[in-house]
Amino acid sequence: MGGTVKLVLMASDNTAPTDTLIDDVQTAVDPTENAGEGLGLAPIGHVVHVTGVTPEPVDITLHLTYAPGWSWEAVRSYVEAVLDAYFAELAQAWASSDFLTVRISQIESRILSGCSAMVADIGGTEINGEESNLTLDPDSIPVRGDVSG
């Protein structure tokens, strides 16, 4: 007895795969033009639809208290690097998770520890305009959207 299977890929660098990679895997597993005929790795009767993870832009609004001599313009690239590292960590956990959650507490604590010489305090952080954590769809990974401080 066959069926339909959804296969979701992520690239080896924990990002969304290229269309070429998706097409190559689709062809190897179950070629679209011969779907379900057993010409790929999938058994006869099994139709496999290959897709990639969806990168979901996450906009962050920060309310920072800067250390003396620092400003948003000077701190921005450091904050963005901290966010990128956190989002990469989340993406790496995608395969073993039912869903990913972008947490305000993680954003704030990572910025405070990673930028401690530049940022004295942080609070009132918003994710996509809300002061709440963001739970992503099962096939989504976070990517940095607009960041303001």
How far apart, in whole angstroms, are the C-alpha atoms of residue 136 and residue 140?
A: 6
Distance of CA 23 to the CA centre of its chain: 21
The DSSP bridge pattern shows strands 119-127 and 140-148 to be unpaired
How far apart, in whole angstroms, are the C-alpha atoms of residue 18 and residue 20?
A: 5
Cα-based angle 74, 77, 83 (whole degrees, multiple of 5): 135
How far apart, in whole angstroms, are the C-alpha atoms of residue 142 and residue 135?
A: 10
- Please say whether the beta carbons of 122 and 108 come within 8 A: yes
Radius of gyration of the chain (CA): 20
How far apart, in whole angstroms, are the C-alpha atoms of residue 140 and residue 106?
A: 19
Full pLDDT tens readout for the chain, 149 residues: 678 999 999 999 999 999 999 999 999 999 988 888 888 999 999 999 999 999 999 999 999 999 999 999 999 999 999 999 999 999 999 989 989 999 999 999 999 999 999 999 999 999 999 999 999 999 999 999 999 98
pTM (two decimals):
0.88
